[in-house]
Amino acid sequence: MDNDFLEEMLEILNPYVGTEEGSGSNEGAVYGNYIEWPDLETLEDDQLNQLAAYFDIDSDKYSEDELVDLLREKGVPEGTSYEYDADFPDSAKYYNC
């Protein structure tokens, strides 16, 4: 995915960004950041409207379930993404190499 797209999704979805750290014998090790993207079914109406506007979708033509399905087809991220994944926004990286 395009980094600009992912940066826009960070702004709209406001996901939790955390740092993956080691434990036990690896305590203190940092493996990088991760993002907990929200499930699309749990988004606020404002967020759904922002996503619809981003993709130029007339949200009045669709039920909420249909809109969520369309947003999934467009590639709106959900679930957990890790820094080592190719689809990870640059601004959320712990190690910016």
Antiparallel, parallel or unpaired: β 16-21 and 79-82: unpaired
pLDDT digits (tens, 9 = 90+) for 34-60: 999 999 999 999 999 999 999 999 999
In the predicted model, is pLDDT for residue 93 greater than 90? yes
Mean pLDDT of 50-79: 96
Per-residue pLDDT at 79: 97
Structure pTM? Answer: 0.88
pLDDT grade, residue 97 (50/70/90)?
A: low
Q: Is residue 2 predicted with pLDDT exceeding 80?
A: yes
- Please list, in sequence order, all residues whose beta carbon lies within 8 angstroms of the beta carbon of residue 84, skipping any fewer than 6 positions away: 32
- Is the CB of residue 65 less than 8 Å from the CB of residue 49? no
Structure tokens at 40: 């699309």
Beta strands in 1-97 (DSSP E): 16-21, 30-37, 79-82
